[in-house]
Amino acid sequence: MDAYRRSLLKAVGAATALAAAGMVPLRALAAMSRPEKAFEATDPQGAMTALGDSAAESDQIELETPDIAENGAVVPISVTSKLPKTTRISVLVEKNPNPMSAMFMIPEGTEPFIQTRVKVAETGNIYALVEADGKLYKASSQTKVTLGGCGG
Amino acid sequence: MAGRMRMRARMSGDVAEVKVLMQHPMETGQRKDSEGKPIPAHYIKEVMATLGDRTVMAAQWGAAISQNPYLSFRIKDAKKGDTVKVSWTDNKGETASTEAKIG
């Protein structure tokens, strides 16, 4: 675990304690854990590195994306993690100007599942990055785009 | 402009399935208008979902989520009649929220 993650965990821990004491709204708690560096990265590797140690491929992550997307502006995606103690699910789109698209925090009592729609600039991989029991895992799937999702 | 939201929550087996549609342009900041001027970025950054005083989902988004975002998630330990509340905040500080009873 690198220094960035350690300080992040510390900040989140402190915020949780404050939130529990009713001192800061929960919204502030979510704001504190925004991985800005990952969102600013311009390639998937940079974004993944910003999220933590290198992720291991896992067949316990079900990533559903269309093989072919006619409209890259609206590409349905769902991620289900079968990894125990899943706490976070992130979605990255390889060829987008900023690949990091979303991070979902999954507390205990919520299923490790999310479904949404993303923009995909051009044919490439979509990655699901899952944090489970403090470790990172990933799965990827290629989506072929007929009409790009970021044009004017 | 506080965008509108539509939400549905219903029990599916022993899990509550929540589906939310948010009205938002989700501008990336990389597009140009007809006069060639850049259209400023305008996108939802944060989404929070609560069930009573419990946070059941929190998300951090970039501009790559599609226009008029759709989101679905599933809550365990929920029952019919419980109220789910979802709110978002965008990069301009605008917010919207809605709630629905689990049916």
Which sequence spans correspond to the domains of chain A? Answer: 1-33, 41-147
Question: A40: part of which helix (H) or strand (E)?
Answer: helix A36-40
CATH pick for B5-29+39-101 out of 3.40.50.10800, 2.60.40.10, 2.60.120.260, 2.40.110.10:
2.60.40.10
Q: What is the pLDDT of residues B57-102, one digit of tens each?
A: 999 999 999 999 999 999 998 999 999 999 999 999 999 999 999 9
For residue A32, give the H/E element and its range.
helix A26-32
> Is residue B1's pLDDT more than 50?
no
Cα separation, A18 vs A25, in Å, equals 9
Query: Do A109 and B71 count as a contact with CB atoms less than 8 A apart?
Result: no
Tell me which residue in B50, B59, B89 faces A104 most closely, judged by beta carbons: B59
Q: What whole-number distance in Å separates Cα of residue B76 and Cα of residue B95?
A: 27
Could you report the per-residue pLDDT of A50-62, keeping only the tens digit for each? 998 789 999 999 9
> Residues of B with CB below 8 A from A116's CB?
65-66, 69-72
Q: What is the ipTM of this complex?
A: 0.95
CATH 2.60.40.2470 describes domain A41-147 = yes
